[in-house]
A and B are shown apart, each in its own frame.
Chain A
């Protein structure tokens, strides 16, 4: 790791101030990706602004179908939240399969979506749920927020403070993990609100999370795994690497979509 300067923010405003006064500073949430990248010298921020002790970034609130998860909430907290599970079990299920138990004790939803790793789980969940990403300065619809691999609509000095969404009628998540890293080789989140179905895919796209419209259309007619028999996804914009070819990922998108629907239907 290169040299860096550590700062502990006391509030979101404090964090923004520290960030602006730094040379090439970065916000540090759980650190599960950033510290690892710094260890291998792939990231070299001049300053780290630790958000873990900012009280306003903690907590989950569920009011009927309206859910707000503060950005500093850990994956373990989301996974274990009983009220949230009753409103939207799939998001708890998703969180319970991020990394491993130790990573889930540190990693946060805000950190995950600010980084927008193309194989992270939350982007699929939030995009399919049509969530809103709340920052210190504005609210951004998930459709506008995830702009590409490791890229988001966040601007300099902007801090994710929460995500909020309305729990859908039915939703489910199915993930096929990369055998080595256990990130999503392909993860599919499906959400149905009335006749509208949103399907988001992580791990597979060559430019990050995306919505699978062919699958959405098939499921809009009938929200059942059987509706996806014979449906195929083009491999054209999918990723190929040593772990999986685009063809294999295209297959997994459909298979995981079926399983996500089955999970949604309980």
Chain B
């Protein structure tokens, strides 16, 4: 590695603009003539629209247009769709209800968009939005998935009888039941995975601009995957043909999954721009984000894990009900199926696994992938039940895990996944050592003397990321391929542009991707520019989610670099009259190995473009593109240990130590990887301790719709983290990397809850373990 190459801890190139306030987010964009939009949203969780009267609103000061769903439908704008087909176990396709970008007949959750108001100022748009009169006939609502499945529950979509979207299974039910009946011990639990609101700090925003002269649309949007947005808006929503639609995702202030999806607002802003003749900007306020961003998690599961007399796992049986909210968001169907149940083997040899998953409509915000997406739910379920089993069996939790670890690779699980590499023992040992696990009992005694209950908990997670092999996901129902593209353009003076279909919204691609180039050619990262987030600049891409930018996005860059290197070497060899095979490129020079002959990198580039002296038959120029389709998922894994102190008087939990030992394969920039782990842990701790999304079950109102009521992790809720990595390189991609973006959020929640339940001596605790929840658990444990 060079000082700026692979493995170097390089400070980020993009930071200069962010620390000086020069970042450019969607809300910072100004287009001449631009006006402002506000959406009229349903105040009811479920209601029939009997009439809409916009007369008063249209007469308000500054109002340019008030538009509703009927006009949208008349213009042929299509319904929103879920792009991953899941079939129920009886072979029937999933029951997808219609989702119009603006509701016309029925509203199905609080926040459902009904109309858009365009006005001179944001304040005027909101004033007028309040003046739109909608006659609603309220209908009964249901917010919890279990209740939505009950007989007599309100019917939310005519297409989904009994609110059931699909009833899907994986694994061998019979083998699992037999193993359970033969088991020496069975641990049984009901496990709830709490609903979360992603809360990227930049609220969603869209700026739609229809240029009449060019008959061309531009959409600036807070997207993790602008190309997918363009594809879907063209091919399915009929907003504009692909060649007449440019989607730009500039600086984006965090995503965590919530900015993958195409929402009603960007569609409606684009359409409204054409309709009203002005560029239309909409920016969500925070409460709008709470109401309408796709939420995450929300599973209720019954779980059984069977053991033989030697404490070896023999079977896992899972029955999960997943709350999908009022509409099927873009990738929602894949989350509790192929991103969840396929990970239920965890790090363990479990001969028989069966999972049944029912997806259910409710009168709540749509639910889709949020950091980890399915894998946190699988990990929480598994690591809670393993910990509980260890307590029931009276064996140390680490020992039970060790006994059941997968130790030979590749390993085929009973639930599709084929793990390619890993060393779970290494992570566990590293974490236990870093946490001074052996010294815990002493610390527990010392805490007790201070009146505090101290506990320790661990979690050994595995996840599948670097999504994904296109043919494989296609066979499982995905509507798109999950490859990535790259183009490397060497300019005539030797500077380099890398165009990528990945999108950075905090991950630091402008630095890590440049490090790849620096590593290859020995040029400084300041001479390399990363271009992303604009469909007019980058031809096609699949975007950033599922920890795929490294394993998939960077692999595409590597392929393009290979091609550039090959051509550059040919040119250099020609210039120096040497053999192509003898050329090495390093420190910004092309050299003939074993001689003192060199030609600077920029001269090779210049030669490519002057084309005065190229090898015979060679095309001028130095620019190569590549598409990379992965051959398998990648499998990051690790062990997290959390140590807590609970104040028994108030139930408040303090995290006194948090250790993460991860195996991400090879690492490009350790500083950025550590940052990803820190952030992931904070979100996982947030889920475990703080973040509870509450709908009022009667009215269906979102009660936690602002930071007054939804607890975001703050600096004083968290400790500094001890993070380390080990490395079993991923054999499946050229860089040997696995991905690190979601691990923290996947591995941490069970470690936290295992620690608290260890401290308080009762297992009866659900997330979030708020002070009141812990105090109540303690109180009922003492009472019994």
A and B touch in the complex (CB under 8 A): yes
Q: Which residues on A are within 8 Å of B, measured CB to CB?
A: 1-3, 40-41, 176, 179-181, 242-245, 248, 251-252, 255
A3 to chain B, nearest CB (A): 8
B127–A181 touching, CB < 8 Å: no
Contact, CB under 8 Å: B704 / A248 = no
Q: How many A-B residue pairs have CB under 8 A?
A: 45
**CB-contacts of B692-746 with A (<8 A):** 692, 694, 703-704, 707-712, 717
Chain A residues closer than 8 Å to B776, beta-carbon distance: 248
14 contacts between A and B (CB under 8 A): A41-B126, A41-B130, A176-B650, A179-B770, A180-B690, A180-B704, A180-B710, A180-B711, A181-B707, A242-B694, A243-B772, A244-B772, A251-B775, A255-B649
B397 near A: Cβ within 8 Å? no
Q: Which 7 A-B pairs have the closest CB atoms?
A: A180-B711, A181-B708, A179-B711, A255-B649, A248-B772, A244-B772, A180-B709
- Report the minimal beta-carbon distance from B506 to chain A, rounded to whole angstroms: 24
CB–CB B650/A242 < 8 A: no
Tell me which of B126, B712, B717, B772 has the highest count of chain A C-beta atoms within 10 A of its own C-beta: B772
Q: Which residues of B contact A181 (CB under 8 A)?
A: 707-709
Asked if A243 and B709 make an inter-chain contact with CB atoms under 8 angstroms apart, the answer reads: yes
A-B contact sample (18 more), CB < 8 A, given A180-B708, A255-B650: A2-B127, A41-B126, A41-B130, A176-B652, A179-B690, A179-B770, A180-B704, A180-B710, A180-B711, A180-B712, A181-B708, A242-B704, A242-B709, A243-B772, A248-B776, A251-B649, A251-B650, A251-B775
Neighbouring A residues of B707 by C-beta, 8 Å: 180-181
Q: How far is the CA of A180 from the CA of B693 in the complex (A)?
A: 12
Interface residues of B in 674-694 (CB under 8 A from A): 690, 692, 694
Instruction: Name which residue of chain B comes closest to A100, CB basis.
Output: B714
Is B123 close to A, CB under 8 A? Answer: yes
Contact A245 B772 (CB under 8 A): yes
Do A1 and B772 touch across chains, with their CB atoms under 8 A apart? no
Cβ A242 vs Cβ B703 within 8 A: yes
Question: A248 CA to B777 CA in the complex, in Å?
Answer: 12
For A243, list chain B residues within 8 Å (CB): 709, 770, 772
Complex-state Cα separation, A40 to B707, whole angstroms: 13
> At the interface, yes or no: B83 with Cβ under 8 Å from chain A?
no
The yes or no answer to B238 lying at the interface (CB within 8 A) is: no
Does B287 lie at the interface of the complex (its beta carbon under 8 Å from any beta carbon of A)?
A: yes
Residues of chain A with a CB closer than 8 A to B652's CB: 176
- Is B277 in contact with chain A by the CB < 8 A criterion? no
**Are the CB atoms of A1 and B123 closer together than 8 Å?**
yes
CA distance A40 to B692 in the complex (A): 22
- In the complex the two chains form, what is the Cα distance from A243 to B709 in whole Å? 8
B771 part of interface (Cβ distance < 8 Å): yes
Instruction: Report B-chain residues with C-beta under 8 Å of the C-beta of A179.
Output: 690, 711, 717, 770-771
Known: A1-B123, A2-B127, A242-B703. A248 touches B711 (CB 8 A): no
Least CB distance from B331 to A in Å reads 29
CB-CB < 8 A to B123: which residues of A? Answer: 1, 3
Measured between beta carbons, the chain A residues less than 8 angstroms from B704 are 180, 242
B453 to chain A, nearest CB (A): 15
User: Which residues in B have their C-beta under 8 angstroms from that of A245?
Assistant: 772
Q: How far is the CB of B233 from chain A (nearest CB, A)?
A: 32
Q: How far is the CB of B716 from chain A (nearest CB, A)?
A: 10
Contacts of A2 in B (CB 8 A): 127
| B757-778 vs A, Cβ < 8 Å mask (1 yes, 0 no) | 0000000000000111001100
Q: How far is the CB of A115 from chain B (nearest CB, A)?
A: 15
Q: Which of B123, B710, B771 has the most CB of A within 10 A?
A: B771
